[in-house]
A and B are shown apart, each in its own frame.
Chain A
């Protein structure tokens, strides 16, 4: 069996999650990747370990990974593949369902585990449940979660690069502009690292102690409901059941006791660090690393240690 992976990229670089998609696809058998646009990316793709062929769609219509032409291209190539895979990022989630519809296939989004060639595990209800589903479609179209699969090594391969003929452009969409976030402080819901504070921060003024640390880590700043209620920070900082649901790579909780409402908003973070002076604080029950102690000593020390 051969799988085709749509390899998405940004500013000339292959996204890490796309490399994870390669790993996921290799569970089916042989892996070909499709690179739309950028030729340097196609070259880089040939070095990915485990890739046996790179298809490069060089035509200008593919430059911005627009869904309409790209889905048409995938459909034109689909005949030779049993699986079509992409990372569950903005590109994959935009393009693959459209291609699936054109192939009369029900896509399987956000796969976190491939049980066998027909059976997949995916989160539903915002991760509150995991569904194991079996697809009866002859061809499988799936997006996979980057965090669930290791990235394939970017080096070590030497796959041939083949330029593919463009498919007919539906000509219904035009790229206008892209605006990448320039703010130093990323958004809470999409940040890779979140530094969060609770009532233990004691006041609005003292809450600022988290900022140098967040700057160092390129982190967003969050807060527990207790901190929001106490007026330390505005509502939009709130992480939790009734606030924002976050799942960063690293979540650092300072002076947060860990009420279940808060845990509901961050428990899917990959690594959780908790700092609290109460050894009984429930946050320690979910933290990968905990420090018992005074956050007003630990935060500056940690900030300094990251220099």
Chain B
């Protein structure tokens, strides 16, 4: 229906997603080949609107991309000056000694604490100066495949009403046709999912395993601010089987980035990542940093933790997967920005070569990755995250230290992931309910007042973008067996059980969605399909995120 009326535009390269990977690819393309036309679309209302990250970044890839980034005013203003890794018990914290030897991947000397959203906004200005056309507010909704080649994407229609009809402000989507298309949607991209399925890109690799990161930005009194301080923790309140920990970084103008990551392979259906994140702030090791401050922003995003073993085939006819769409995050380092950027740059090189040699598939991308420091780094780190999955938090930490000190990442074996994250939940009856404290309104908060700070908004009159493939499964699986885990793992209060006592039913508050993608990953029956809503919907993260 809409195909017949939608306009189309031709580019050499179409990039889906304006994060570090997509922007680095765009910049590299124009640097290498200024005549190549590059179009980048971003579903957020502006570049940076959907970017959430800690973030301590390694400037390695940025220096390769734009060696004079300092002169160009890149917003990398807070170098890491001191760091601590804490093991928490309920009331105490133990500092891990000799951090740089036991956990060398955690050494952050030479790195910067940044707002990744700000870095992306800056990268976008660099890209635009090089002639990249950037269109925020438009979501890639459909992969265009012709003769088994990806030939671009189509943006979603705008102005479709709740019941699927064309409203008064209906605007058909547009076809952005590219000789090559790079998918840079970040973790669990909705188009990447389709491409992976169409070309069976995950064949022969480990399942991807994910984490959910939830973040707050605080503004604290100047006298308590220690710019450059990096603090990580593990241990309490998570049990030994659950992978995760918290971070706290002092940066910028009296800002603190506080957040928490939990592995989505957790088993306890009663676990609520949001409430874990809230209660860690009550621990003395965190409380002392935040007290007297005010929370200014909130966000959440899933991330790929699988590393090397989980990286799919990277190319297909007409394009490639880059950044966290492919899963290039280095989990032991908890960093993915430098790897995302590097992968984008390498893909750009491969695409330029493919254009020159008229290859359908930019297949040299894979070789370029394997010959780069990116691969070396992920290879050395490959056993750390699965070590935690196999040996638990404490055993995993010991394994990671051994791996680092004795084997230096060169273990002759590779540990594997055995399960998809949606397969790990245990039935509600078999799990112990954590006892979460009620929000106090000063340090800890509820979901909705948090979502409010993410400035999330969706046009209300549009179809629900979170779809149940089989609505009847919710009652028999999600409710009867697991007691609606989505109501707990969703950090935005999208999933709500109504009439719990009489006739439990699921209510989906799609407008609250912060686009973290956790539901698409963790739903036990893989029954929730996260599709892209109308462009410009979702969070509007401000500077600092």
Contact = CB atoms under 8 A, between A and B. Distances in A.
In the complex they form, do A and B come into direct contact, defined as C-beta atoms under 8 angstroms apart? Answer: yes
A242 interface: yes
Contact of A264 (B452, B498, B507, B509): B452
Contacts of B498: 199
A259 interface: yes
A199 B449 CA distance: 19
Given A225-B511, A229-B507, A229-B509, A242 B448 contact: no
Contacts, number: 22
Contact of B449 (A225, A229, A260): A260
Contact of B460 (A230, A235, A282): A235
Closest 3 CB pairs of A and B: A260-B452, A260-B449, A259-B448
B457 interface: yes
Interface residues of A, number: 13
A261 B452 contact: yes
8 contacts: A199-B498, A235-B460, A235-B461, A241-B452, A242-B457, A242-B460, A260-B449, A260-B452
Interface of B: 446, 448-449, 452, 457, 460-461, 498, 507, 509, 511
Nearest to B458: A242
Interface in A161-219: 199
Given A225-B511, A242-B511, A261 B448 contact: yes
Contact of A260 (B448, B509, B511): B448
Nearest to B446: A282
A230 B507 CA distance: 9
Nearest to B449: A260
Main secondary structure on A side of the interface with B? helix
Contacts of B460: 235, 238, 242
| Residue among A225, A260, A264, A282 with max Cβ neighbours from chain B (10 Å) | A260
Contacts of B461: 235
Contacts of A235: 460-461
Given A229-B509, A235-B461, A241-B452, 12 more contacts: A199-B498, A225-B509, A225-B511, A235-B460, A238-B460, A242-B511, A259-B448, A260-B448, A260-B449, A260-B452, A261-B452, A264-B452
A166 B511 CA distance: 56
Contacts of A259: 448
A238 B461 CA distance: 13
Contacts of B511: 225, 242
Nearest to B453: A260
Contacts of A241: 452, 457
A230 B6 CA distance: 34
B145 to A, nearest CB: 36
A241 B452 CA distance: 9
Contacts of B452: 241, 260-261, 264
Nearest to B459: A242
Contacts of A238: 460
A190 B28 CA distance: 55
| Residue among A199, A225, A238, A259 with max Cβ neighbours from chain B (10 Å) | A259
Interface in A256-307: 259-261, 264, 282
A199 B500 CA distance: 14
Contacts of A242: 457, 460, 511
Contacts of B448: 259-261
Contacts of B446: 282
Nearest to A285: B441
Interface string A221-232: 000010001100
A199 B457 CA distance: 21
A229 B446 CA distance: 21
Contacts of B457: 241-242
Contacts of A199: 498
A260 B446 CA distance: 10
A264 B457 CA distance: 14
Nearest to B499: A202
A241 B449 CA distance: 12
Nearest to A228: B460
B359 to A, nearest CB: 48
Nearest to B450: A260
Contacts of A261: 448, 452
Contacts of A264: 452
A123 to B, nearest CB: 20
A188 B173 CA distance: 35
A235 B161 CA distance: 12
A30 to B, nearest CB: 45
A263 to B, nearest CB: 9
A242 B452 CA distance: 11
B38 to A, nearest CB: 35
Contacts of B507: 229-230
Interface in A239-255: 241-242
Nearest to B438: A280
Nearest to A257: B448
B375 to A, nearest CB: 46
A211 to B, nearest CB: 24
A230 B511 CA distance: 14
A264 B455 CA distance: 12
| Residue among A238, A261, A282 with max Cβ neighbours from chain B (10 Å) | A261
Contacts of A229: 507, 509
A238 B460 CA distance: 11
Contacts of A230: 507
A278 to B, nearest CB: 13
Contacts of B509: 225, 229
A238 B509 CA distance: 15
A247 to B, nearest CB: 19
Nearest to B452: A260
Nearest to B511: A242
B164 to A, nearest CB: 16
A123 B463 CA distance: 37
Contacts of A260: 448-449, 452
A225 B460 CA distance: 10
B479 to A, nearest CB: 19
A235 B498 CA distance: 20
Nearest to A238: B460
B112 to A, nearest CB: 32
A202 B446 CA distance: 24
Contacts of B449: 260
A178 to B, nearest CB: 30
A21 B507 CA distance: 49
A267 to B, nearest CB: 12
Interface in A94-150: none
A167 B282 CA distance: 69
A239 B156 CA distance: 29
A282 B441 CA distance: 11
A224 B457 CA distance: 16
Nearest to B441: A285
B273 to A, nearest CB: 20
A239 B38 CA distance: 43
A238 B448 CA distance: 17
A26 to B, nearest CB: 39
A261 B458 CA distance: 13
A245 to B, nearest CB: 14
A229 B460 CA distance: 9
A254 B509 CA distance: 21
A254 to B, nearest CB: 18
| Residue among A199, A229, A230, A241 with max Cβ neighbours from chain B (10 Å) | A229
A260 B448 CA distance: 7
A259 to B, nearest CB: 5
Nearest to B461: A235
Interface in A13-47: none
